[in-house]
Amino acid sequence: MLLVLSTCAAFAGTTTPEDEVRQALSQFVQAFDNLDWDRFVSFFSEDATMFQPRGFARRAENKGEIESQFRQVFQVIRGDQTKPPYMEIHPRDLRVQMLGTDVAIVTFHLDDRPSVLNRRTIVWQQTKSGWKIVHIHASEVALQETR
């Protein structure tokens, strides 16, 4: 859906920085769904940082550390599967906050685990080579059961 919206805006000749961020996010999610390693890591800036929601206690301080963490994550996700897509990530409650024309904060939820709400914040920066991720903060919160 994200790709459709940004593609329509591009064909209409009205592409905005927000449209570009939405398109970059869509491409990033697709690379993650498909566990397309080269495409996936191309979205990170060299000095990107990241907090994982579980399994990694400390902040990843650069692209190399992020790659090290995600190599482990990719291996777990892939499991015994042999072809993509390996996941179907569906960002919910997506919000893009533009800070000028070269920085964007993207927040959304994932409801991929029962009784847990996964929260994501991705900070993007426009560079000469396109929009790059400079920070990801991933967290989760247990949902209260309604009685």
Are 108 and 91 contacting, i.e. CB atoms less than 8 angstroms apart?
A: yes
For the ranges 53-57, 85-89, 142-146, the lowest mean pLDDT is seen at: 142-146
2-142 folds as Nuclear Transport Factor 2; Chain: A, (3.10.450)
Report the pLDDT value the prediction gives residue 49, as an integer from 0 to 100.
Answer: 98
Report the pLDDT value the prediction gives residue 9, as an integer from 0 to 100.
Answer: 52
- Cα 35 to Cα 98, 102, 113, 134: the distances in Å are 28, 27, 19, 20
pLDDT higher at 24 or 55: 24
* Dihedral of the alpha carbons of 93, 40, 121, 26, in degrees to the nearest 10: -30
* pTM, two decimal places: 0.87
Report the pLDDT value the prediction gives residue 55, as an integer from 0 to 100.
Answer: 87
Provide the pLDDT confidence category of residue 112 given band limits of 50, 70 and 90.
Answer: confident
